[in-house]
Every structure is written in C-alpha cells, then in structure tokens.
C-alpha cells in the first residue's frame, strides 16, 4: 500500500498534453509548492516548443516535462481535476474517489497562431494564454478548499 500523499493533488487535463495543461502544471509547481500538480492528455502528442519558450520567458522551466496519458497520475489520489480544453472536458473520464472535476477552458495557442509566419509572430498568442493560465492557477488554494482537498 502506497504512503498517503500529504499534499493536495491536482491534475490538469487537456487533449494533447502539449501546451495548456503543461503551462498549468508549470505554474502550479512554481506558485504552489504545497500542491502536487501533474498534467496529462486524453491523446498526448508531445511537448510544444513554443509553450516551453513562453514559460521560459516568465521564468518557469517546463522543458523537462513530457507529454503523458491520464494513467501517469493515480486517479484515486486526486483531489481536483481541471480540464483546460473543451475536448478534454467533453471526453473526461470518470474519476473514482474524492476528485472533483471542474472545467476552465483556455484558448488553444497553436490554433490562434496557425497563420503566424514565424515563432516571433506566434509567441504573443502563447504569452496571452500563459498569463491567463497563471491568473487561474493563482486561485488553486481556494478551489482546493472548496473541493475539500486541503489536507
């Protein structure tokens, strides 16, 4: 039997686990070290290099993150699941136990930047979403308290 984790556990779930969920995990780890944050995708497909660059500009290194499936986080130990894209919200699996699932959708930076001719032209989209995600992640302690995840 695994030892109980004294930290509240939060999963950020997106389709590809390549951008928004990775940014959210990075911010959660930076802003709330007392929270055990992870991210996953319903259909992971690799870490987005522009998400890495945008986070690095803000002083958060997510370059060591990997794109992973939900199986990477033990669902029985989660307190809060945050779906950060509509697709993940619509296909979110049922989580057993105490996990509360909420949806907070963010625009998809790769989709917003689809017509960009360069990384420099694409990055403003990533920066805006990065900053919106940070503002949301700042509220995690309140959300966890409401979810009963304060241990």
Active site residues: 14, 85, 92
SS3 category, 41: strand
- DSSP string of 104-119, one letter each residue: -----HHHHTTT-SSH
How many angstroms separate the CA atoms of 46 and 109, rounded?
Answer: 15
Residues 6+ apart with CB under 8 A from 26: 55, 60, 61, 62, 65
* CA nearest to 24, candidates 49, 60, 72: 60
How many angstroms separate the CA atoms of 22 and 26, rounded?
Answer: 6
């Amino acid at each position: 039997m695994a030892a109980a984790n004294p930290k509240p556990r939060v999963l950020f779930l997106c389709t590809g686990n390549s951008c928004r969920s990775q940014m959210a995990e990075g911010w959660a780890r930076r802003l709330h070290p007392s929270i055990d944050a992870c991210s996953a995708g319903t259909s992971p497909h690799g870490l987005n290099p522009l998400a890495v660059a945008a986070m690095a500009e803000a002083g958060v290194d997510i370059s060591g993150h990997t794109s992973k499936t939900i199986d990477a986080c033990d669902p029985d130990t989660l307190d809060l699941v945050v779906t950060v894209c509509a697709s993940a919200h619509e296909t979110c699996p049922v989580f057993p136990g105490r996990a509360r699932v909420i949806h907070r959708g963010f625009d998809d930076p790769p989709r917003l930047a689809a017509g960009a001719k360069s990384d420099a032209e694409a990055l403003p989209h990533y920066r805006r979403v990065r900053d919106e995600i940070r503002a949301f992640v700042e509220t995690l302690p309140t959300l966890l308290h409401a979810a009963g995840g304060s241990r």
